[in-house]
Structure formats: structure tokens, C-alpha cells
Structure 1
Amino acid sequence: MAPTNTRSHPSRSREPNERDRLLPSQPRREPVDGYLDPDDPAVSPYNLWSVRALRFFSVFFLALTFLWWVLLLVSIFVSPPGLNTRGSGFFDFSFTTLTTGLLLNSLLFFSNPSLAMRVCQAIIAVLLLVDVILITSVTRLRFEESAPGIASVVWATVIAMWCVFQDRIVAWGKREEEERLTGRPETRRTLKEWLGVLVATIILVLYIIIVLLMTGTLALRARDAGLDMDGTRYYVDGDKYQVHLACVGEIRTDAAGARSPTILIEAGEDPSEYDFEHWAYNAYQNGTIDRYCYWDRPGYAWSDNAPSPHSAGMSADNLAEALAIAGEQGPWICVSAGYGSIVSRIFSARHFRDVVGIMLIDPLHEDLLHRLASPVRGFVLWGWGIISPLGIQRLTGAVFGGISREDRVYGKRAYQGGKFIKAQLQENLVADSLTRSEVSSARTIQTPDTPLVIVSSGISTRRDGEWEAKQKDLTKLTDRLVSWDVVNKAPHYVWRTLEGRQVMEKRLGELVKASRKVQYEVGV
């Protein structure tokens, strides 16, 4: 038998190892007429440097946008210098989130351009351009959104246009490479490519709906900006933002030269104008009081939002600054309700020489601020704030519910606005820290001989034993308690019942008389 040629067949002389091929080599598929097969991976728009440069710039823009997004997210809770806005800060965050989404969608489906994507991106760009015009042309919107908001919407518009341009260039590059390497542009798509086009288009349609809702909300804000108001806005805190202050009536002087006290209204959980100020106006018409002033804390009604964090003590300082700028002088009787009683007590303690009376209506005690500071409540407020630019409730209410501008600015639908939500969130964030510390200090320095009236809700005290105990504790705020009334059938908003309004006006009249005695004693 002839010897076997082991040199030509090494695999027959040894066991196979990891370096041996498991399958025989396939013959290379040669191009037909010098062209590649359309499915060859070498047929790609990435062969063009211009296409690769577009992708690089898109990734770069995404990185910049993400950094801006993080800064805006942080500024909701702690405003960095130069990034605070006089509005809620939710609109600029939403525009930046949309920009991030546009870039991500564009990069995910970068090599799969389509006419549907370009059309959707063009629609988004046009709607965003309308938003730019609305924000920059309406003075109130321009002031509220400030530089961060304007920069965010302009950047979103530019990126939407960039995505249209990018998709068009990639489509051109894909066709050019197909003609060069296969001899003709490819007209068919694989199932994977069709699914990519479908998913990208659905995402962009959702973006169109989002931008439409945001544009509608901006249009409502532009309309609400023209609503007339009583009083004036004043710049406070180093001219960073404005707060609204209004006064009704005239100061009178008695025969001894003592000035009649001005009632200083501090609302609770709603804007003063909603219905709390109406009760004061009735007392003024009835002659119980001669003059009263009311204001909106930052974020409420006509006032701008303050930078974060913002505590009750900061609000009290805002009020004092606005009164000084307006030329308003005491003596004051501080009348407040709910959370507003915290602000009012801090104001009273810090300006004890000018405060000659305190009236608290179902007030919030400092030991219960932890309820306001609940993390769950804070997270819910943040969530509502994030989606507030969509304005779904506001738009449906305006179109189908007949909700007026007054309802949206200071009425029963004010809670739906981004500014109001931001103010509530700010109160939540520092309620059990800064605010609690401020009001505890205020109680320590509160003048003991200041006349005090407390009117409590019968419903609240019966339902919550701790609330009742804390109402009783507040009667010891000073040594000069005029009265403590528990209105049997009244809710937390005591003035919304006839008995509540009657008790409040009666006690306010007694407080005015008691305050005159204080003026004679201390010479206010």
C-alpha cells in the first residue's frame, strides 16, 4: 500500500483544535459587472465623511443638551446664579427634554432616513418657531421665561431644523453610495428598516402632539397676561423678581393723632384674590376697617416665582420690601389663614414695632409643617410641574369648560398653573427645615403684649385631635388673647360659611379697637 501524504493533509494526522475551521470555506461572491450586492455591508452612507461628521455633531449636540437639561433640573430645586427665571422653570425644562428626545430619535434611526420623519420634524420646527415668537413678543412671557427659557426654546427650534437637514443629507448619502457601489439606488426596504421608519414616525407624531399642547398653553398664558389687576408689581430681592401688592381704602387719624391700623391680608393655600380678599372687602364696606392691603406670595396670581429655595421668612421679607417701596406705613394688623399664618407670624415678629394686632384663621402650627414637607407630596408636585407645560386641564377647561382668565390666574383653576405648582413645591422643600426654623425664632421674639385673635374650623378640630391641640397652643402666642372661636360648621376655609364670615368680621372689629389701645401704650 502506498504511504499516505500526511504533509498535504495535516488534519488527518492530528486532532482538531480551536484554530481549525468547523465549516469549509465558502467561495467569495464576486461582484456582478464590477458592482457590489445591495445587501453588502460595504454599501453604507457612513462611507461619506460628511455623513460621519453629521453624526459626530449630533452626538456633540446631544451631550450639550443633556448638560443643559441637568442644570435646568437642578435649578428647579436650587437655582444656580444666572439660571433663575421669574416663571416656573418647567417650560424651559420641557423644551430641553423635547430637544433631547429629538436628537436621540434622530441618532437611533440615523441610517434609516425617510420622508415621513422629515415631514414630522419640519412640523415640529414650525411649531417651535411659533413658540419662539409667542415668548419673545409677549412681554409678560418674555419676563417670566427669562434668558434660560428663551435659550431653551430657540435651541429646540434649531435642533428640530438640524434634524430635518441631517435626515435629508443622510438620505442623499445613502443614495449616492448605492449608485456608486451597486449601480442603482435601492428602492426596497427590509422588514427591519420598515419597522424602524414606523417606530421613528410614531415617536415624532407624539412629539408633534406634545409641542401642539405646549403651544396652546403658551397661547393661554399670553391671553392671561393681558388680564387687568388692582395694585402694582414691585421688584424685590435685588430686582430678581416682582411681587404684586394692592391696597384698598384710606388711612384715617383720630383726634389724638393716632393712625387707623391697616389690615395686612396674608392668604393661605390659594391666592388672596380667590375669595379671602372678598371677605376683607366686605368688612371695609361695612365700616369695620378703614384700609387693608393684600399681596401675592411669589408664584401666586400676579407675582413672579422666586429662585429656589424659598422659605416663608423670605416671603415675609418680600412683603416688607414691597410695602416699603410702595410707601405703605403701619400700624398693621396681620390677618392670615392656613400656611399664610406662618408668613404672617414671621412678619409680625420681625416688625413688632409696627404690628398692633394678629388674627389667625385656622392657622398652620409650626409643629405640623412636616405634613406640608411630605416627600410623597413633593414628588407629586414635581410630577405635576413637569407635565404642566402640556396644559391638558387648562386647555380642555378653556375650550370645553368655559374657564375664564380670572379662574386661571387667581381663581379656582390657579392650582393648574406652573407658577403655582412651583410655589407649592418650594414651600414643600423647606417647610420642615428653613421655614420651621424661621417661625420658631419668630415665636421667641414675638412681642407678648400684641392683641391676638384665633378663629378655628370646627370641622378641622373635630376631625384631627392634633390639629385641635395645636390651635389651642397658638392661643399662647402672646399674653393678650382677645378671643379664640371655633366655628362649628366651618371648614378649613372658615370664611366660606356665613357664620364664619360673621365671626371673623366681629373679632376683627374688636381687634381694631384693641389695637388702638396698644398704639396709645407704645406710641406706634
Structure 2
Amino acid sequence: MPLFSSRQDNRPEEDGQEPEDADQAPPPDEHTRLLPNRGNSRRGNLLAPDDPAVSPYNLWSIRALRYSTIGFTLVTLVWWILLLVSMFATPPGFQMRGSMFQSFGYANLTLANLLFTLMFFGVPAKAVRILVMSMSAVLVLDMILILSVQKTRYEEGWVGAVSVIWALFMSLWTLLVDHTVKWGKAEEEERLTGRAETRRNLVEWTEVMVSTVVWSTMCIALFLLYWVDSHKYRVHVHCHGNKTEDKPTVLFEGGERTVEYSFWDFAENALRNESFPRYCFTDRPGFGWSDTSPSPSSAGFVVDILSEALANAGENGPWVLASAGIGSIYSRVFSARHGDAIKGLVLVDPLHEDLLAKVGRPGTGFLLWLRGAISPLGLDRVPEAIFRGRTSRDRVYGRSAYQGGKYILAKLQENWVAASITRRDAQTSRAIQDKQTPLVVISSGKHTKASRQWEEKQRDLTKLTEKLRSWDIVDGAPHEVWSTFEGREKIEKRLKELVHARS
């Protein structure tokens, strides 16, 4: 018998059994755990919850959802690119009467929604599902507004309808994906680890926090989106006064702002003063009540649109044209193309074609595009409406009109072609302008004193025709000469002289 013997050596050998394996659990005693470690449980084939093999991607349905989401993202990206390109050059069938930025905003929202869904695909979160449900509810409301309200349906067209419907569909798809991944994750954890895991590691909590912040931002942006009412688009024409056989009608053209904001009150006062018997004005595409036009939109193209609108309204002249700033470019092109129908030109601090390069600067265009991209959020219009009492008229053609998506798109279109096509249109109009047309130039005193170049260009514009009636420099007047009493008096006086002049 050995000097030292183990407990196994003292076992009776008559039963013929082999010694027990070393890995067999010893009989329980006072040191035995009441709840054994999962790794030491009898189901030794279970995996740890952090094992990479424990993944919802093991299920073919989850993989199919991910591949489908990738496909939807690619389709959305193509749609986003089409909307972006249509701002610069409108493809056939993509013409919208309202602002392209509204549909572009929905495309941005949808693309961001799908990209972040792919980024946080394997980490479903209840907070995200609640936010996506809120987004879906708002998108349903937006869809109803677009499809049921005549004005929004007209302005947005099929492009806007498709954009909001696709955004709603993708929002519901995100909700379905998150629910399904949550189910698949629990299913795989139950199968591979023995129970569904309720804990998250630091990386997962970070992803949940980031995804919640991202979807909260998108939800806030969606809540801020709001709606404000040949035959492809409409142009607003307004006339007031009595038609006469022997007196021309004054046709106003606004400058950097709408005609209503610039000249409407002035025209009404002059009409009451009998300085002229009748006046008309049109809103350029994207300004005031007019629809936006396809891109690119040069001065010549806009003049063709305005001429057609006036003809359809039964307004055929004769005309005395009055315009300001960049609007003088459009009036000059209109004058050159209508010849004998033009009885006089009044240019108020007009922009010279050689200075159009400043209007067409790339930096200005980029800033306009950024403003347009965020314009549907109403970050400036809503606070002004609440705290400063801005009305719907202010937003359509008044002091807040420059904040609207249509106006920004019109200025962006103007910027794209100012130094190229529009400049060429202005140069061509100068060459074919009737040299016997009476001409009046009224310049800003402040502007001419502040810039020698501006003064020289004003002098050059007095040579557009051979019949310069007057070149007035209004001392102390800003670029908006009519904003001063002396400026209004001077403009009204010159218009009265041209309208009542003998032919």
C-alpha cells in the first residue's frame, strides 16, 4: 500500500469502474455556489453575450432587410442628385411652380434617415422608434396638405408629392427595420446564450445616444417644415387705372426686391396725383405671386415670359418703362424687343451690364444655395411672424419676401447666369435698342459719391439712346431712390413728362 494515497485510490475496485474524469464536478459541499457560473453550467456549448457570433445578421431576414435598405438608399441618392441638378438645369418634367428647396429638404431628410439607419442598424433603440413614429405622423400630415390643398398641390407638383410620399415610406421602413432587428437580436441571444440580453456595453450605449440625438435633430427639422397659396407656370400681372388712346401705360419693374415692395405705393400715389392714367407691373418668376421658372433663367428668358403674360392679359402697350437696380436690365431687354411700343425709359439708379459679374459671384451663389437649403425650416420667418408681427403679405411680397424659398431660388437662378447669358442679353439689347426712345436716368447721390466706378457706369447708361431727356442725381438718396421724398418727387415728375409728352 502506498505511503500517500488519494481518495480515488481508496475506492473499492470490485465494481470495475474506471476513475472519474478530472473535469467531473465534485459532490456539493458548503463551498458550492448556489447559482453556478454560466460558463460552468451543464450547457457548455452556450456563447458569451459579447461573442461576435451572437449577431442578428445570422438570420436571413435581417440580412435581407439590410440589403433592401442599401437599395432604398441608392434610389434616394439618385433622387437627391436629380433634385440638386434641377436647380441648375431643370430636366424635362421636373418643373415646379414653387420652391425646389421644399422637395430638396424632404430628400435630405430621407437620405439622412436611411444613412443613419444603416449606420446604427445592429443597435435598435426604443427612443429612436418613438422619434421615427413622430416623424411619420408629421409626414402623414405634410402629405395630406400637399395632396389636398390646391395651392400646395399646384406649387409642388408631382415632384413634391413623390418627395414627401417617399419620405413617409422610408420613415415607416426605418420603423420596421428597427423592430425587426430588435426581434432578431433577442432571437439569436436566446438561441446562442440561453436568454435575451438586456445589458449594453459602452460602445452600444454610445451608439444609442448618438442615434437618439441624430433622430431628434431630424424630428425637430421636420416639425419646422411648414407651408405658407404656354400653362406650365403662372406669372402675376397687376394693372390699375383707365386705358386711354393717347397716353401710354407705365410698366414698373422692381430691382432687387419685388415691385410691390418697391413701387406699388409710389404708383398708387402718382395715379391719384394724375401723373399718369394707368400703370401695370409683373412679378418676375419666383418674385411675389409668380411661380418659379425652369433653370437656367436669364434676363432674355424672363422677358419672354413677362411679355407673354402681358399679352395674355390683353396688355399690349404702348409703354413707358420704369425700373430700378438690376430690374433695369430686364427693362432694357424688354424695350429692345418691343421697339415702337416703348415711348420712354426711366432707369432709377440702374445696374450696368459690366457690373453683373458682382451679381454672379460664386461665393454669393453658394450662400444663396445654403440659405435656400435651410429656408424650409423657417428659422427666420417664424420668429419674425411671432415676435415682430410679420403678416402673410410681408412674406409674399413685402419686407420678409427675401426669406422665402421661391425668392431665394429666383435670386440663385439670377446669380448663375448673371455674368454670362444675362450679360450677353443686355449687350445685345443695347445694340438693337431704338435710339429715338426718350431716356431718363435718375441716380443715387450716395451711391455715385461712394463709388467712382458706379458714377462712370451711370454716365455710360445715359448714352443708351440719342434722346436723353434728363440725368438726375438725387443728393442724399440711397440706392432705393424712391425711399426719400425728393427721390419720389423726381421720379414722378420725369414719368409725368414722358407720359404726357407729345408723340
Both structures adopt the same fold (TM-score exceeding 0.5)? yes
CA distance in 1, matches of 2:302, 2:162: 29
CA distance in 1, matches of 2:370, 2:93: 25
CA distance in 2, matches of 1:392, 1:385: 12
CA distance in 2, matches of 1:93, 1:32: 59
Contact 1:265–1:335 under 8 Å retained in 2: yes
CA distance in 2, matches of 1:32, 1:309: 75
Contact 1:31–1:37 under 8 Å retained in 2: no
Give the alignment's TM-score, normalised by structure 2: 0.90
Corresponding residue for 2:152? 141
- Count of residue pairs the alignment pairs up: 464
Corresponding residue for 2:238? 246
- Tell me, yes or no, if structure 1 residue 425 matches structure 2 residue 412: yes
CA distance in 2, matches of 1:377, 1:143: 30
Corresponding residue for 1:156? 167
Q: What letter corresponds to residue 431 of structure 1 in structure 2? A: A
Alpha-carbon offset, residue 31 of structure 1: 8.2
Structure 1 gaps, min length 5: 1-28, 226-237, 254-258, 518-524
CA distance in 2, matches of 1:373, 1:43: 58
CA distance in 1, matches of 2:54, 2:457: 77
CA distance in 2, matches of 1:148, 1:329: 35
CA distance in 2, matches of 1:40, 1:413: 59
Question: After TM superposition, what 4+ stretches of structure 1 lie above 4 angstroms from structure 2?
Answer: 29-32
What pairs up with 1:21-170 in 2 under 5 angstroms?
A: 32-33=42-43, 34-170=45-181
Contact 2:254–2:262 under 8 Å retained in 1: no
Contact 1:393–1:416 under 8 Å retained in 2: yes
Give the alignment's TM-score, normalised by structure 1: 0.87
Corresponding residue for 1:196? 207
* 1:450 alignment partner, one of 412, 423, 437: 437
CA distance in 2, matches of 1:274, 1:31: 82
Corresponding residue for 1:361? 348
What pairs up with 1:485-504 in 2 under 5 angstroms?
A: 485-504=472-491
CA distance in 1, matches of 2:129, 2:200: 17
CA distance in 2, matches of 1:498, 1:117: 60
Q: SS in structure 2 opposite 1:468?
A: helix
CA distance in 2, matches of 1:161, 1:201: 17
Corresponding residue for 1:470? 457
* 2:184 alignment partner, one of 173, 191, 194: 173
Larger radius of gyration: 2
Query: Which deviates further from its counterpart, 491-500 or 175-184?
Result: 175-184
Alpha-carbon offset, residue 143 of structure 1: 1.4
CA distance in 2, matches of 1:381, 1:61: 30
CA distance in 2, matches of 1:133, 1:402: 28
* 2:277 alignment partner, one of 272, 290, 302: 290
CA distance in 1, matches of 2:244, 2:110: 58
Contact 1:264–1:334 under 8 Å retained in 2: yes
Distance 1:32 1:243, change over 3 A: farther
Q: SS in structure 2 opposite 1:246?
A: strand
Alpha-carbon offset, residue 39 of structure 1: 2.3
Contact 2:336–2:432 under 8 Å retained in 1: yes
- Tell me, yes or no, if structure 1 residue 210 matches structure 2 residue 202: no
CA distance in 2, matches of 1:375, 1:457: 27
* 2:393 alignment partner, one of 379, 384, 406: 406
Distance 1:283 1:187, change over 3 A: same
Corresponding residue for 1:273? 260
Contact 1:262–1:331 under 8 Å retained in 2: yes
CA distance in 1, matches of 2:42, 2:265: 88
